[in-house]
Structure 1
Amino acid sequence: MTDLQLIGKQAKEAATQLALLDTKQKNQLLEHMATAVENNTEEILQANQMDLEQADSNGIKEVMKDRLKLTEDRIAAMADGIRHISQLKDPIGTIEHMWKNEDGLTIGQKRVPIGVIGIIYESRPNVTTDAASLCFKSGNTVILRGGKESFYSNQLLVSVLQEALNKNQFSPYAVQFIDDTSYETANEMMELTEYLDVLIPRGGAGLITHVKENAKVPVIETGTGNNHIYIDKDSQLDMATEIIANAKAQRPSVCNACETLLIHKEVAAFFLPAIEEELVELGIELRADEWASEYLPSARLAAEEDWSTEFLDYTLAVKVVDSIDEAIAHINHYNTKHSEAIVTDNYFSSQKFLNEIDAAAVYVNASTRFTDGFVFGFGAEIGISTQKLHARGPMGLEALTSTKYIIYGEGQTRK
């Protein structure tokens, strides 16, 4: 059984050391980690092949295996991602505000590391290097608990990162991996209050719900993506078709893919047949309400649960709505607060949608696929937060920090 108390103790001690490094030192160590990933490409591919063979044995869908699979190009991209993070502005030590109060005290707000971050995640091995490098650059140590689907890939990647740190005279415990994928160990990690400052679950709805309901450690909820695109009555067919095709089919297994298409009744009869032709050609199965089914010969009738399902597959729910108000009400009822989009040429409709939709990212005339820390300019992301406290949306370096007040006096005492 994994000794989580020991892992936590080691992480906390390493966090103290990491907090003392300056930006140049952190960047140099990140560069060594990136080089180590590149130099171990063959070994990483071999470990990943073991995961892929296990996925075949377990009957995992091809669309999900794509999340798991590593190639030379993907490993090179992981190394480049680490380097990119090393080049980003370091938030640690930044004084965000400085003012003098009526007592003559000079008060400042300084950005500091959170401390020890725990991450429970599924499937994608690139999360391992993204999370490790983001945490390291922001001065945090990290305890990673990946899923059994990518066990061998994650285990080797962490070993490579630890070796790079160790070779360069820094504690390998800055990045640690829990090599027990049992539920019991995950549950024990959720109770590691003495050592973990925050726990971030990243994966499917079941994992996130379980962590939210059972963790004693503070949790940042990262979202499942039951995302919608609403096609307004004042929109262009070509634009609408291109956006929905991209949002649904470019990579359907990721959390920023679209799961439901809503369309205004005034354009449904004309738009839906053209959109259907494009989507069916891309291999999309359509599940439509009764109204939309009138214009979609290939669709099967949607069930109630389809409106709340994150398919993560080549499946799309379709519904005709009377108005933008009905679209907004439907989205706010069924969505997971992740990413929502409107396609419209009407400025007032766009502003109404932006103002009234409750989600971390809200788009006008663009695909939901852009909700991503790298795309937003954060280098990478630790996850996409769908909650409202501490952080919301793609979480980059700044989201992995806290603040403390620093106060300069000249002998003042409070009266």
Structure 2
Amino acid sequence: MSELVQKASLLKQASFDMATKSTEEKNEALLLIADALIEKTADILNANEQDMVSGRAAGFTESLLDRLQLTEARIAQIAGAVRQLTELSDPIGETVESWTTEHDLEIETIRVPLGVVGMVYEARPNVTVDAATLCLKAGNAVLLRGSTSALHSNKALVTVMKEALEASPIPTDALQLLEDTSRETASEMFKLNKYLDVLIPRGGAGLIQSVITQATVPVLETGVGNCHIFIDESAEKDMAIDIVINAKTHRPSVCNAAESLLVHENWPYQNELLNALKQADVEVHGDALLANKYDFVTLASEDDWGQEYLSMTLSAKIVKDTREAISHINQYGTKHSEAIVTENNNNANLFFRGIDAAVLYHNASTRFTDGEQFGYGAEIGISTQKLHARGPMGLNAITTVKSLVRGTGQIRS
């Protein structure tokens, strides 16, 4: 029996046990995991350094290395997010709706776990803990399939978490790491309907499309982030500049960072904004109007408009009005997060109605598209699809429902 089938079989059995666990039992396990992560920080960092050495040798970009790297502060933040999960309401057993039929049948729809979640992701070892603990809190068993580039880190993190589970009421079999990271095994995993209830891919466009096109297991699709900021003609200068700089430079390697800038042709502070981007060491790929006006702006190609750079690069274009901005975003956006900076509420409302995306902002940075920032605790991903879940996916997104029908002997005539 292959590693994949063996672990998936264990997960399926564990999922039935997980569905019966109380909130108190799950929270006890999560607190043990959080404590263990802090206690074993040195071991985790040693394993992560092996991955970092391999990544540097392989010529990983700085943005990829940033995603891969763990630090003492990042581990503390990860552990803190796990503790925060214990403070959130447990969705399992929650009544979604209830009613009584004309035959006096009492029907109640409640939240229940999805069952076994298969998580497929790339070089972000923090996702290992986020996904595992979110799934456990929502009563799910979870199969983690990370990338080869983070294998040492992921193995260390899962070892720490499973050791913590041994002292808890939660079955250790409910958490499994697929150490075979070959493409062949991944393809087999995508079709493992007998054991997996859902797949959640989290990573670049290539990974996500690979899962979507190959999978027979249902997919909760997360998306890449070609996020735009539109500066309307009435935008307040300092606010607009602060939002653009924050959205682009705060952490450029993540999916909610801004990748594209649209500026109204009549906004009077174009020079100040472009110079602020230059001072922040942002490489700007602009349309002909910008490239001809600023010697530090590179002329953009068609590919730039749809690019998720994940680096200190930004595409930029001058537009004539809000409708042109909406049209551009709907053509090139990835339905992730889009922002308008304006003092005109009519234009803000038009932007909100016209853009097809999971999260829309008026006078705020796209960097807030995040489960923790939304109050969900750690997130399992940002969904850009329209069915089941959309936007930051917290606990509710990894549940489903079932109906309970209570009668007094009714039969159908």
TM over 0.5: yes
- 2:226 maps to what in 1? 226
Q: How does 1:8-407 map to 2 (within 5 A)?
A: 8-168=8-168, 170-267=170-267, 270-407=268-405
2:398 alignment partner AA: L
Counterparts of 2:354 and 2:373, CA distance in 1: 25
Are 1:26 and 1:137, in contact at CA under 8 Å, matched by a contact in 2?
Answer: yes
- Shift of residue 133, structure 1, vs aligned partner: 0.5
> Which secondary structure state, in structure 1, belongs to the residue aligned with residue 266 of structure 2?
helix
- Amino acid of the structure 2 residue aligned with 1:153: S
Q: Hey, what's the Cα distance between the residues in 1 that align with 2:251 and 2:166? A: 37
Q: Secondary structure at the match of 2:269?
A: helix
Deviation at 1:60, TM superposition (A): 0.8
* TM-score, length of structure 1 as denominator length: 0.98
Q: Output the amino acid matched with 1:314.
A: M
Query: Unaligned 5+ residue runs, structure 1?
Result: none
Post-superposition offset of 1:153: 0.5
What is the CA-CA distance between 1:64 and the residue it aligns to?
Answer: 2.1
2:217 and 2:369 mapped to 1: Cα distance?
Answer: 27
Which one of the candidate residues 403, 407, 410 is aligned to 1:409? Answer: 407
Kindly report the root-mean-square deviation, in angstroms, between the aligned alpha carbons of the 2 structures: 1.1
Partner deviation per Cα, 1:107-162 (whole Å, 9 max, x = no partner): 11110000000010011111111111100000000000001121110111001111
Q: Tell me which amino acid in the other structure corresponds to 1:311.
A: Y
CA deviations over 1:176-222 (Å, ceiling 9, x no partner): 00111111111111011100000000000000011111111100110
Q: Contact 2:372–2:379 at 8 Å: present in 1 too?
A: yes
CA offset at residue 3 of structure 1?
2.1
**SS state at 2:60 partner:** coil
For 1:266, what is the secondary structure of its paired residue?
A: coil
The percent identity for this pair of structures is 49
Once residues 155 and 394 of structure 2 are traced to their aligned partners in structure 1, the CA distance between those partners, rounded to angstroms, is: 24
Aligned length: 413
Structure 1: how far apart are the matches of 2:94 and 2:389? 18
Matched residue SS, 1:89: coil
SS at structure 1 position matched to 2:173? helix
1:97-116 deviation line (CA, Å, top 9, x unaligned): 11111111111111000000
On the 8 A contact 1:2/1:185 being kept in 2, the answer is no
CA offsets, 1:57-89, max 9 Å, x none?
011112221111111111111111111111210
Amino acid corresponding to residue 243 of structure 2 in structure 1:
I
8 A Cα contact 1:208 1:222, kept in partner: yes
| Contact kept? 2:29, 2:169, Cα under 8 Å | no
AA paired with 2:317?
K
| Superposed displacement of residue 171, structure 1 | 2.1
Q: Which amino acid aligns with 1:304?
A: E
Q: What SS does structure 1 have at the residue aligned with 2:136?
A: helix
1: CA distance between counterparts of 2:97 and 2:311?
Answer: 46
Q: TM-score, normalised by structure 2?
A: 0.98
